[in-house]
Structure 1
Amino acid sequence: MLVFVDETGDHNLNIVDPTYPLFILGALVIDEVNYRNLVHEIDHVKDKYFGSPVFILHSSELKRPLDKRSDPRNKPMLDPKVRSNFYSDMNKLVLESIDFGLVVCCIDKETMVQAYKYPHDPYHFSFENLLNRMLRSTGSVCKIQAEQRGSELDTELFAEYERLCRTGIRFYDSSIVKTRTSLELVNKKENHAGLQLVDLLIANIARSILGKEKNMRGNDLDPSLVRSKLLFPITFFPHK
């Protein structure tokens, strides 16, 4: 089983943006046959709207195509009709047509800081939660690919993963974690359809949680279709 992991929000608990106080980690879980179909459909959509199947989809760039950090090929998304058609195609060709699952952990950063004197790193906290759920969702080996976040954070994540392989996690002992999971970190500039899709999915969920659904019609993936892909209810911390 292939698993693609990405985040939205800042993991740094010393910085809490009142307009975006969340940290969300999500994992897309899909078998290899369906992943080939997923790649085909996403390549088709990217070629249609951005002129190349090797174009990299980033939720932030789709929303802010004029930002200096955005690929200039995102500019068609300024046209409301093009934007609506793009998300309609993604809904129909990907969300409605491809079999995959989604696992999500959402942290309210301010509450986490208040609840613990020495709070756990939000990414590591969420990653262990996702490990439990992805193992529960399938009996297959989970080949996890997560986006690189910089050498220091990548080293810390590998160290945390190795610790979990030694100690086990809440519902699975160390032998299960070691034999049924693997972790690879990949550059966000590489063309991985799974990482691009999970980026769009968790950004969509974040906007829904923040109460922005009324502005999402025609400007985002269909929130109801996104939530239909959840393998388990979203894990909220604190629990709701």
Structure 2
Amino acid sequence: MATSDIEENTGQEHGFSDFVVYVDESGDHGLLNIDPNYPVFVLAFCIFYKQHYMAKVVPALQQLKFDYFGHDPVIFHEHEIRKEKGDFRVFKDRAEKQAFMGRLSHLIDESNFILASCVIDKHRLTSREEMSNPYHLALRHCLETLFDLVKEKGQESLETHVIVEKRGAKEDDELELEFRRICDGENKYQRDLPFKIRMAAKASNSAGLQLADLVARPIGRHVLAPNQPNQAFEVLKHKFYCEGGRQAVGNGYDQWGLKHFP
């Protein structure tokens, strides 16, 4: 057996799937003061094959950081990039900013990951269950989609780690409790789901979490205004988990990889 074959199978031998998932959100999950310009909550799962993530995605992101900032501790956040805050005040003019955005868009386009996302329209929530916590509602939908994927790949008996950025002790405890509840059978399949949550600090500088941060808002903007130009979404729509497999990439994702609720 070749060395590469041994490396690729090691994780499965220890009970782990070939996938790792990075999660981020866009918009807040509060329901008292809803932003009229962005009345949605978006949760995005970026699902990577571990081998591709290690070999291609991480080095490409590091290279981009060294090229534009001279170091790699800089953390990519969609809001800071868009508003040119913090490290992203470095661009000397519009042309340099556009060149950077082009490189970043190309990196996302070239990174092979599968998107599972859920957009919650907060104005349309009606029942007590729906209105309890949009984050938890979106989480259930995304975990169910993730299970569809691992089952399709024959890896439903292996453990997949879901990496979520830490927000605060109270919020993290509530999220972990809800995650475990869903995986313990409170899902549409009424069965245990083979997923394990892992909280990571923002300072961990995770490439996967940074990419998840970059994709969430364009998804929300598309759902709010599907007919408006959205270059970022044009790249992302080919990555959603979809009905019909590879033959339907870019078309068959509505209410599959991109769920919107209600």
Kindly indicate whether the alpha-carbon contact (under 8 Å) linking 1:135 and 1:142 is maintained by their aligned counterparts in 2.
no
Higher-Rg structure is: 2
Question: Is 1:61 aligned with 2:84?
Answer: no
Find out whether 1:230 has 2:240 as its counterpart. yes
Deviation at 1:60, TM superposition (A): 0.5
Helix, strand or coil at the partner of 2:181: helix
Letter of the 2:165 counterpart? E
In 2, the alpha carbon distance for the partners of 1:99 and 1:62 equals: 22
Give the residue type in structure 1 aligned to 2:214. Answer: L
Q: 2:209 aligns with which of 153, 178, 195?
A: 195
How far apart are 1:81 and its partner, in Å? Answer: 1.2
Q: Tell me by how many angstroms 1:50 deviates.
A: 2.2
One of 103, 119, 122 as aligned partner of 2:134:
122
Question: How far did residue 226 of structure 1 move?
Answer: 1.1
Quick one: which of 162, 168, 182 aligns to 1:144? 162
Are the counterparts in 2 of residues 41 and 94 from structure 1 also a CA contact under 8 Å? no
Counterpart of 1:100 in structure 2: which amino acid? F
> 2:237 is paired with a residue of what secondary structure?
helix
| Matching of residue 39 in structure 1 with residue 51 in structure 2 | no
2:14 is matched with none
Runs of 4+ deviating beyond 4 Å: 212-217
Mapping for residues 138-217 of structure 1, pairs under 5 Å:
138=150, 139=155, 140-171=158-189, 173-174=191-192, 177=193, 180-211=194-225
RMSD of aligned C-alpha atoms? 2.0
Whether the aligned pair in 1 keeps the contact of 2:29 and 2:41 (CA below 8 Å) is yes
Counterpart in the other structure of 2:7 = none
Measured in 1, the distance between the counterparts of 2:227 and 2:64 equals 24
Partner of 2:124: 111
Whether 2:111 is the aligned partner of 1:98: answer yes
1:43/1:54 contact within 8 Å kept? no
* Displacement after TM superposition at 1:88 (Å): 1.4
Q: Deviations over 1:47-90 (max 9, x none)?
A: 2122222210000000112xxxx42x211357321222112112
Q: Secondary structure at the match of 1:16?
A: coil
Residues 115, 239 of structure 2: 8 Å contact kept = yes
Contiguous gaps of at least 5 residues in structure 2: 1-18, 243-252
Structure 2 length as normaliser, TM-score? 0.79
How many pairs were matched up?
Answer: 222
Distance 1:121 1:189, change over 3 A: same
What is the percent sequence identity of the aligned residues?
27
In 2: Cα distance, 1:98 partner to 1:235 partner: 22
Task: Kindly state the Cα deviation for residue 184 of structure 1 after the two structures are TM-superposed.
Answer: 0.6
Q: Does structure 2 retain, via aligned residues, the 8 Å contact 1:104–1:130?
A: yes
| Distance in 2 of aligned mates of 1:78 and 1:132 | 45
Check whether the contact 1:42–1:94 (CA below 8 A) recurs between aligned residues: no
Does residue 19 (structure 1) correspond to residue 17 (structure 2)? The answer is no
User: In structure 2, which of residues 121, 145, 160 is the aligned counterpart of residue 133 of structure 1?
Assistant: 145
Provide the C-alpha distance between the structure 2 equivalents of 1:168 and 1:90, rounded to a whole number of angstroms: 38
Amino acid across the alignment from 2:260: F
TM, length-normalised to structure 1: 0.85
Tell me the distance in 1 between the aligned counterparts of 2:162 and 2:38: 27
